[in-house]
Structures are given as C-alpha cells and as structure tokens.
Structure 1
Amino acid sequence: MVNQMKTWRFEGLNWALFFEMSANRLENAMAAFRNGRCLSTDSNKVDEPLKVEEAETVDIPPPPTEKLLVLGGNGFVGSHICKEALSRGIAVASLSRSGRSSINDPWANNIEWHRGNLLSSDSWKEALSGVTSVISCVGGFGSSSYMYKINGTANINAIRAAAEKGVKRFVYISAADFGVANYLLQGYYEGKRAAETELLTKFPYGGVILRPGFIYGTRQVGSMKLPLGVIGSPLEMVLKHAKPLNQVPLVGPLFTPPVNVKSVAKVAVRAATDTVFPPGIIDVYGILRYTQPKSS
C-alpha cells in the first residue's frame, strides 16, 4: 500500500514538472514571436530575426488586344468604318488593292495599311495576323461576271480564310433588295447573296450581314469632298416612315430609305466587336433602329 502511494506521488511529480516545462517553453516561444524572433526547430537557442523575402513577380501577358481588319478600308464606307473603330480605341488594319488611302486626315496615320487582292490568296493572308474581327466593304460594278467575282468570289475567299484563321466575328456590308434593279444587276446581287450564304455557314454565331440601300454622306474624292447627304438626308427622313410602301410589288423596294454612312459604320463596328450582338441579317430599318438613342 505504501509502495503504491509512493509510485502515485512520483508519477504525479513528473506530470507537474512536465506541464511546468511545457508552459515555460510556450511562454518563451510567444515572447520570441512578439520580438520578431523564432525558435529553432532543432534546439532551444534563438535564431536571427525572421526575414520575409519579396514575393516573386510573375509576368502575366495582358489580355489580347482587339484588332479589326477592314476589307476595302480606303473606300467611301470603309474609311468611315476605320475612323469609327479608331474612335473606340480599337486597333485597325485595312486591306485593299491600292493599299494606303489618299485621305490625308490625321486619323489615317493610325491605320495599318495592307495591299493585296482577295482573288489571290498569296498576296493578302498575312494581313489576318492577330485579327479578331473582320468587316468587308468589298464590292463593285461592271460586267455580270466581273460583278459576281468581286461581290461574290472575293468575299467568299475572305470569309473562308478568316474562318480558318480563327477570327471570331465577320461583318459583311451587303445591299438591300431593290426588286426590278436586281435583274439589271444580276451578277452584282447573285455575288452578294452567294457571299451571304457562305458567311452564315462559316460564321453561324459571329456572322452579321448589313443590307443598307443608298448610303449617303461626305465622300472624299482626291482633295474634294462630295456632300452626298444633300439628297440622301431628306430622303431618309421621308422614306423611313413609309415602310409599308416597301411591300408594293416590283417598285416597292425602290422606297427603301437611304442611310447615313456614319450610321452604317457605327452598326458595323458594333456588330464586329460586341460579342452579344445577334448574328444574321440586318436590313436598313434595323440599321436605323440600332443607331437611335436608347430611351431612358
């Protein structure tokens, strides 16, 4: 009985010493941390003050810059599109057969000008480098076969090349249906419609077709500026409210209202850069609607 009591007292003494030593160590450790020092893991001596190294800087590339390629960017509509895109802070390149525009305005110096022919793939595909969206204003008049080639084949080549390059959005400036005029310019309209079909096939989620009628605005011809709005603006004001006349057989499409080139440029750039802009065909009334200020 005596031996058991001694054993119990001996064990109790060990536990008391253990807790006392642990408490002292804990108190010393807390004091060391408060003084900016730490205990070594292999002994009870105090190490040098804790040094915190500067975090490593990781080079993260900036988000990809939006770059727009305008096919026919030195023309009447194309030049306004280039200017509109620049005003929105978008990097802009232009491709045309003549290369740099003759426009001497300061904004033209901020365009990346390329020279090439859409009917010859070897002469222009490098212009697609880094491009995220394309707007085509390519078109022309002449013989029926020539009109089909310029309005149709050239644009089809561009659409296919852009799709292969991974371009996300493609906007095509087509033309409104003018009824009887379609038969007089058969190659022109057949080419336009063939390009539209190709675009909707290759870009089902990012392809937009604008179908304006007569486009008016200030047109630069050399050093001269032609104010095409003198006629177009009054007609737009009258005919945009006469939409029912557009349904009259044969002559109805002739009542399609003209549209300002600035309106076409604004909608084209928005369609090319706004990922939520709906794909498909936008007629002249849709162009006018998209350019109207939103009611509060």
Structure 2
Amino acid sequence: MIKNLLVFGGNGFLGRRICQTAVENGFEVTSLTRSGTAPKAKALWEKKWIDQVKWRQCDVLDPKTYSQYLQNANNVVHSIGILLEDSSYKTQLSGNLAFDAKKLLKWGPNPMKSNPNFTYDVMNRQSALTLAQELTNFQNSASEGGQRKTMTYISADRSFPGIPKGYIESKRAAEVGIMRLEKQLRPILMRPGFMFDELDASVGKLDPRTQIKHLLDFANWGNSWILGRKINCVNQLIRPSVSTQQVSRALIQKIEDPTFEGVVSLEQIIKA
C-alpha cells in the first residue's frame, strides 16, 4: 500500500515540518491551505523536500473544496489553529522584535470586525470536526482490509499564562468530537507544548518565539536543578518547549503504528 499523507495547514509553522518529515519517511504528501502556496525555503537544502509536496488550495470549512483529496487519503492531519483570536500574533512571533512579554500579549486590533471566522470555536474546533466528519464519508470506499484512515489533530498540552481559557477549551472540545468517530477513523491527538523550530535555533535567530523558548528552557532548568521538580503546581505551570521536528517525528511514528490511537502527550513527543 502506498503511504500517503494529506496535511491541512501544510505551509504553517508546524505543518511545513510535518510535510518534510513525511517526505523523508517515504510518504506521498499533499498540503491543503487557503493560499495553496509552498512555504519559503529557510535553507537551500529545503527546496528538495518542498518540491516533492503537492501544494493545493482549499477552504477547510467548505468540504466541497477538498473532498476529492479525501477519497484516496490514508492519513489526514489537521494542523490549523490559533493561539489568540487575533491574527497579528503570528506575525509578531516570527518577526525580529525585542522581547517584551506585555507587548506580545497586546497583539493589536481585533480582527473579528473583518473576519468573523477567526475564533477559537471556528478555527480550533469546528474546522477539525468538519474535516473529520467529511473524512468518514470516504472510509468504506478507500479503506483496505478494514483499516481505518488516521485522523491526526494538533491539539495542545495545556494553555499558557495570559491566554484566554477558550483556547484550550476549544482544543479539548475538538478532541472529544474526533474521538466520537473512532469506530470509523483512527484518531491521533497530538499535545505539544510551546513550539520552536530547530533550524531557527541553530542559526541563533532571536525572534520572539526563540526568546520565549530560551526563557522556558531557563525556567525548566531552575525547576529541575533548584527545586528538584518536587513542587507539583510548579511542574504543572512550567512545561518544556518542544521543536516542530520532534512533534513531526512523533506524529509519523504514531501514524505508522497501526495499533496506536488516542492522545500523544508532551512527554511522549519529547521522547520520539
């Protein structure tokens, strides 16, 4: 059987690494996004895997724009979501800004005036459940030997200080909805923590995301060596960062294990 992977949000911060890791593991990969464009290569060698991915356009909220791709898809990944109900935070996290925690939580004007779909409920929950439900329509015609298609959802370990509770609530609601379809699909629920990209870290890039990673690493060092990880409330608050490459490796491992389904915790991701 040909290994294939359909990634919704494949040109995003995590999605691009999922596509890369899948290509490197012998998968035929198709990425579906609103723009349908390939991500910009961060290094010359990246062009090799980018050229092997089929970059296509769709609207995840409108199944008619992508149903034809689900027919022969054995594995589907939902890598679409928002941390805040304001699109400007993504630009600031990837920009060259001096770190300012207060500024990073003041992301700018409310985009809801122009984009009513940019909400936790729509982007984190509804888009995932719309995709999962549409995928079940093709389960019988595309399955081989009774195998269920995999539906992987990028959830979250937990919320972050200063982030509205609607973020993690929408993630958990999506998980519950996907698990209800487990008789038709094999659900894989990834729960990463704060993510960074190893390529950015290796070149010493000091964008806000990398600076937050350094702060988390320092906090975890202090919790381990000074507090000995003996205070449970501190352990719950200070969680390790994880690279997009680690998340992608863990995701592919779980997809390739036909016996696995359910939640992949942050600790499991880090060990991958």
1:44-193 aligned at under 5 Å gives the runs 64-104=1-41, 105-140=47-82, 141-142=84-85, 146-166=119-139, 168-178=149-159, 181=162, 184-193=163-172
Q: Is the 8 A contact 2:159 2:168 kept in 1?
A: no
Q: Is the 8 A contact 1:96 1:116 kept in 2?
A: yes
| Distance in 2 between residues matched to 1:96 and 1:245, nearest whole Å | 44
Cα RMSD of the aligned pairs, angstroms, is: 2.9
Equivalence for 2:101: none
The alignment-based identity, stated in percent, is 25
Is 1:261 aligned to 2:247, yes or no?
no
| Distance in 1 between residues matched to 2:39 and 2:166, nearest whole Å | 29
| Distance in 1 between residues matched to 2:218 and 2:264, nearest whole Å | 19
Is 1:214 aligned to 2:157, yes or no?
no
Name the SS for the 1:162 alignment partner: helix
Alpha-carbon deviations, 1:191-245, whole Å to 9, x = none? 211110111111257211111110111578xxxx777556526845863874946
Q: Is the 8 A contact 1:174 1:212 kept in 2?
A: yes
* Larger RCO (CA under 8 A, 6+ residues apart): 2
Structure 1 residues without counterparts, runs of 5 or longer: 1-63, 292-296
Q: Is the 8 A contact 1:232 1:258 kept in 2?
A: yes
Opposite residue 133 of structure 2, the aligned amino acid is R
Alpha-carbon deviations, 1:154-173, whole Å to 9, x = none? 00111111222215211111
| Distance in 2 between residues matched to 1:226 and 1:109, nearest whole Å | 28
- Shift of residue 136, structure 1, vs aligned partner: 1.3
Name the SS for the 1:68 alignment partner: strand
Equivalence for 1:200: 179
Q: Is the 8 A contact 1:97 1:117 kept in 2?
A: yes
Name the SS for the 1:85 alignment partner: helix
Equivalence for 2:89: none
- Shift of residue 258, structure 1, vs aligned partner: 0.6
**Which 4+ stretches in 1 moved above 4 angstroms?**
225-231, 240-246
Equivalence for 1:287: 269
Opposite residue 206 of structure 1, the aligned amino acid is R
Q: Is the 8 A contact 2:216 2:239 kept in 1?
A: no
Point out the more displaced range, 141-150 or 200-209.
Answer: 141-150
| Distance in 2 between residues matched to 1:247 and 1:178, nearest whole Å | 17
Equivalence for 1:247: 232
- Shift of residue 262, structure 1, vs aligned partner: 0.6
Q: How many residues are aligned here?
A: 218
| Distance in 1 between residues matched to 2:216 and 2:125, nearest whole Å | 29
Q: Greater share of helix residues, 1 or 2?
A: 1
